[in-house]
Amino acid sequence: MERKKYIAPSLLAANFTNLDSELNKLKDANIKYLHYDVMDGHFVPNISFGPAILKQIKKYGFIYDVHLMVSDPKFYAEKFIESGADIITFHYEACNNSKELISYLRKTFPNIKIGISIKPKTDVNAIIDLIELVDLVLVMSVEPGFGGQKFMPMAIEKIKTIRKYILENNLNTLIEVDGGINVETAKYCIDAGVDILVAGTSVFKSDDIKKVCNDMLGE
């Protein structure tokens, strides 16, 4: 059975002077996921959105995919779950004990899906034993912190390794990729085994969001 694949537009690339219109365009294009990047200016050299904005846009009814690029993921996870996150993804590199954090989030917030992310320079084998504990693995195909960067091909082998592990162990864990995703790079990622493509600039700068998303998904 073929896996369903999705686009998760990255809010970082939206026009914030016209946010209502931007989000309604996504609804009109039948977008299910919205990727919400949280940056603290410490783990990455940029600052983005707080929980208040998430709370305000919750009414649009997306699956809110919150990516924590922060040095204190436990603290921020709690704040964003309270504000409406459906998925909380934290960085392996930001956590001293990933298993402990996953266990805490599972027990405290049983209805929230949990993801783990790795930067481009992190060896995929560092998280192999965590894949069965999470709902999603996010492979960064750019250095986290800024939108509009060029796709790093090393992500493809990581995706293939994760997909192989998922299949061999009969897991339901989803694979997500974030960074430099467009029609060309999306195909490489889907062929490698990705379920969710995070795309910012290529979606929000498009004149026809539905078409570009369908093109990226090969539909």
What does the pLDDT look like over 75-111, one tens digit per residue? 999 999 999 999 999 999 999 999 999 999 999 999 9
Q: Are 185 and 159 in contact (CB under 8 A)?
A: no
CATH superfamily ID and name for 6-217? Aldolase class I (3.20.20.70)
Q: Please tell me the pTM assigned to this model.
A: 0.95
**Catalytic residue status for 65:** no
The side-by-side arrangement of strands in the sheet containing 196-199 is 6-9, 196-199, 174-178, 136-140, 113-118, 87-91, 63-69, 33-39
Rounded percentage of the chain residues whose pLDDT exceeds 90: 90
| Number of helices and strands in the chain (H, E) | 8, 8
Q: Dihedral through CA 63, CA 11, CA 150, CA 30, nearest 10? A: 50
Question: One of 37, 40, 65, 195 is an active-site residue; which one?
Answer: 37
Q: Please, which residues have CB within 8 angstroms of residue 71's CB and are 6 or more apart in sequence?
A: 40, 42, 43, 94
The residue type of 16 is: F
What is the pLDDT averaged over residues 195-202?
96
Residue 146 pLDDT level (bands cut at 50, 70, 90): low
Q: Are 105 and 112 in contact (CB under 8 A)?
A: yes
The number of beta carbons lying within 10 Å of the beta carbon of residue 152 is: 17
The tokens 């934290």 sit on which residue?
90
- The conformation of residue 118, written as its DSSP 8-state character, comes to E
**Catalytic residue status for 178:** yes
Look up residue 25 and give its two tokens.
């365009």
Residue 1 pLDDT level (bands cut at 50, 70, 90): low
CA distance 216 to 5: 10
Question: One of 40, 65, 178, 195 is an active-site residue; which one?
Answer: 178
Q: Is 139 helix (H, G, I), strand (E, B) or coil?
A: strand
